[in-house]
Amino acid sequence: MYNIVVCFKQILDIDQMKIDEKTQEPITKNLPYRLEDLSKNAIEEAVRIKEKYGGKVIGITFGGDQATLGMKEALAMGVDEGIIIKGYRENNPELTSEVLAKKISTLKYDIIITGNASADSYTGLVPGKLARKLNIPILGNAIKLELHENTARITRSMEDVNYVVESRLPVLITVEQEINEPRLPPLIQIMAAGRKPMKIEEMQIQIQSSKKVISNKAPKSDRKRIIFEDIDKGVEEVSKFLRSEVK
């Protein structure tokens, strides 16, 4: 049996995001949050370990009341207990890992699972920093995971070569999308998720913002707005135009 902690992230639904034509800034008002994709892979893998070997899965995420929907989705997928850390609004890998490490150090764990990066910032820095702060090894970019007693073994895909690496527990493992297909929980599990324990806790450390966002604008895209009415002549004209643009 293994005690598993899965860290996941909820992001603004970037698929629904639009850009303000006047300011070129993203419109985030009333934009819903969702579990980002690699977080779902991390949750799925944590639950699969529990189902195969036995144990308990604790899910950790940041947010406030708006994070409860994402946490309930994780609980419906098979997470046993949820912890939402309230009050953290930074997007700094060093601070993020510090807040996570402070909380995780109070828990009993054998395995920590995360996605290898998040869809919004995609730095991929948090897992390594978290492992360092907890003083445990990290196995990154797993597309396959096996456990044997006190050892974890992963397969990692690197271009045209697969590597097999292993480590003693406790260990932090980051996963790629190829590792699994996240489940869609049935209605009965969605309803049962509301009865599972879920806590909203304040941050246990004081942090100071280390950055200031000066601007956040989409790149400007100007269209030539050239219309070719005659199809036969248009093909030749388009070809000439494209060749001239390449020069």
Q: What was the pLDDT predicted at 38?
A: 94
Would the pTM count as exceeding 0.75?
yes
Low pLDDT (below 50) residues in the chain: none
Residue with tokens 């308990």: 56
d(CA 71, CA 149): 30
Domain extent listing, the chain:
2-202
Q: What is the DSSP letter of 16?
A: G
Strand partners, 145: 154
Interhelix angle 126-134/93-104, rounded to 10 degrees, is: 40
Distances (CA, A) of 51 to 75, 87, 134, 159, 242: 14, 33, 26, 31, 57
Is it true that domain 2-202 has CATH number 3.40.50.620? yes
Give the pLDDT score at 246: 67
Q: Which two tokens stand for residue 43?
A: 């949750």
CA distance 182 to 113: 14
Task: Give the distance from CA 141 to its chain's centroid.
Answer: 13
Q: Note the pLDDT of residue 213.
A: 74
DSSP letter for 108, please.
-
Give Cα separations from 55 to 11, 26, 52, 223 (angstroms): 28, 42, 9, 57
Cα 78 to Cα 40: distance, rounded to the nearest angstrom: 11
The answer to whether the beta carbons of residues 8 and 115 sit under 8 Å apart is yes
What's the pLDDT tens digit per position in 198-220? 999 988 777 777 677 787 787 87
